[in-house]
Structure 1
Amino acid sequence: MRTTHTLLPFADHTLHVVEFEPDSFHEHDLLWLPHHAQLTSAGRKRKMEHLAGRIAAVHALREHGDKTVPGIGKQRQPLWPHGMFGSISHSASTALAVVSDRPIGLDIEAIFAPQTATELESSIVSNTEKMRLTNSGLPFEQALTLAFSAKESIYKAFYAQTTALPGFASAHITALTTTQLTLRILPAFSVNLAGQDVCVHWRQRDKNIITLCTGFPPGERY
């Protein structure tokens, strides 16, 4: 599979961006992955995205002196080397990865089409959040995509502290600026983190929204 690797500085981190050409993908490309057998029954789209994401992750890990290819955990999460944290995301023909010394969540989403935004808004935000998005000055489709992506990034950063798979109503947007969102974690997300305000950085790249949530170092709490 043909890929192009570039770097994207973002919120004091370096994102590793891998653009890939779907038409150039072949099944034998997966043999590069030590865990390729786990993808045997996956569809072509997931295989491509997974491969591109792991390529991005390897670039990110090499920046920190590690040559590991992250495996697949029981909840389909990437398995990072001991003492390291990372996150992977993909959208269409783009994959992103980042590695950090603390829990971190990264997400990329294509901006919703108007009809998609109308269909999904009630499942992503409350009426209060919708009003905040509407008054943000952003086109509503972009703002709703941002809300969706930010909540995905929070889950990725803090999933180890959740007791179950939380829904979008388990974190509430309290503020939105041109570069950051603030979300309050509710008990449905995590009893231990309930009431905490979490900052999520965001930016637009072409027709995509990218969000990044940095957790706190291991052993520390808000």
Structure 2
Amino acid sequence: MKTVHTTLSLSPHRLHRIDFDPATFGEHDLLWLPYCAQLAQAGRKRKAEHLAGRIAAIHALGEYDEKGVPGIGEARQPMWPAGIYGSISHSATTALAVVSRQPVGVDIETLFTNQLSDELADSIVDSREQTLLRAAPLPFPLALTVAFSAKESLFKAWSARAAPRPGFHSARVIAIGPDSLHLQPSAHFSPRLAGQTFTLHWAKIAQQIVTVTQ
């Protein structure tokens, strides 16, 4: 599969980005993955996305002198080396990965259209959050996409302590700015994390939104 590796900085992390061409994917591209047999039943699209994500993860792990490939956990999550936390995300033909010594989550989403924002808003944010996002100096579709992505990143970072399916309303946006926002999880997200405030950073790259936990 044809891929291009680049990096981008999103405070305080360095993200590894893989842009890939799914049309060039071949089954043989998976053979170097130690667990390739686990992907046998996956569709072609899923296989290409998975491969791109693992390539990004290998580049990210190289910063810590780690050369292994993250395996697949029971909940389909990446299995990182001891002492290292990481996160992988993909959207369309782009995959991202980040690693850290602290819990970390990354997410990439395609910018919502006006119509999609109207359709999804109530399922992503409550009325107070909608009021906050609509008052922000950002177009509402952009603000809502950032909120959606940030909640995904938060769950990825803290999934080990979060409920299995906490839902988007289990973490509330309490502030949003031009490059960061703050989320506050409730007890429905995690009793241990309830009431804490988490800062996430975001960036708009073409028609994609990237968020990462601080």
Same fold (TM over 0.5): yes
Counterpart-to-counterpart distance in 2, 1:198 and 1:35:
34
Q: How does 1:48-87 map to 2 (within 5 A)?
A: 48-87=48-87
1:132 is the counterpart of 2:132: yes
CA-to-partner distance for each residue in 1:23-45, whole Å, 9 max, x for gaps? 11111111121111111111111
1:45 is the counterpart of 2:45: yes
Aligned-residue offset at 1:114: 1.9
Specify the code of the residue in structure 1 equivalent to 2:141. Answer: E
Counterpart-to-counterpart distance in 2, 1:163 and 1:17:
29
Counterpart-to-counterpart distance in 2, 1:9 and 1:184:
24
Task: Name 2:95's counterpart in structure 1.
Answer: 95
TM-score for the superposition, normalised by structure 1: 0.94
Task: Name 1:159's counterpart in structure 2.
Answer: 159
CA-to-partner distance for each residue in 1:120-158, whole Å, 9 max, x for gaps? 111000011011111112111111111100000000111
Runs of 4+ in 1 over 4 A off after TM superposition: none
Counterpart-to-counterpart distance in 2, 1:140 and 1:32:
43
Counterpart-to-counterpart distance in 2, 1:70 and 1:53:
10
Task: Name 2:35's counterpart in structure 1.
Answer: 35
Counterpart-to-counterpart distance in 2, 1:141 and 1:163:
28
Instruction: Identify unmatched segments of 5+ residues in structure 1.
Output: 215-222
Tell me the SS of whatever aligns to 2:159. helix
Counterpart-to-counterpart distance in 1, 2:148 and 2:10:
19
Task: Name 2:183's counterpart in structure 1.
Answer: 183
Specify the code of the residue in structure 2 equivalent to 1:151. Answer: K
Specify the code of the residue in structure 2 equivalent to 1:51. Answer: L
Aligned-residue offset at 1:163: 3.2
CA-to-partner distance for each residue in 1:65-101, whole Å, 9 max, x for gaps? 0101001111111000011111100110000001101
Tell me the SS of whatever aligns to 1:32. coil
Task: Name 1:219's counterpart in structure 2.
Answer: none
Counterpart-to-counterpart distance in 1, 2:105 and 2:163:
18
Tell me the SS of whatever aligns to 1:174. strand
Task: Name 1:220's counterpart in structure 2.
Answer: none
Counterpart-to-counterpart distance in 2, 1:26 and 1:164:
34
RMSD: 0.9
Counterpart-to-counterpart distance in 2, 1:9 and 1:115:
31
Counterpart-to-counterpart distance in 2, 1:193 and 1:7:
31
Task: Name 2:200's counterpart in structure 1.
Answer: 200
Specify the code of the residue in structure 2 equivalent to 1:168. Answer: F
Tell me the SS of whatever aligns to 1:160. coil
Tell me the SS of whatever aligns to 2:160. helix
Aligned-residue offset at 1:116: 1.5
1:26 is the counterpart of 2:26: yes
Task: Name 2:4's counterpart in structure 1.
Answer: 4
TM-score for the superposition, normalised by structure 2: 0.98
Specify the code of the residue in structure 1 equivalent to 2:181. Answer: L
Tell me the percent identity: 54
Task: Name 1:171's counterpart in structure 2.
Answer: 171
Aligned-residue offset at 1:15: 0.5
Tell me the SS of whatever aligns to 2:182. strand
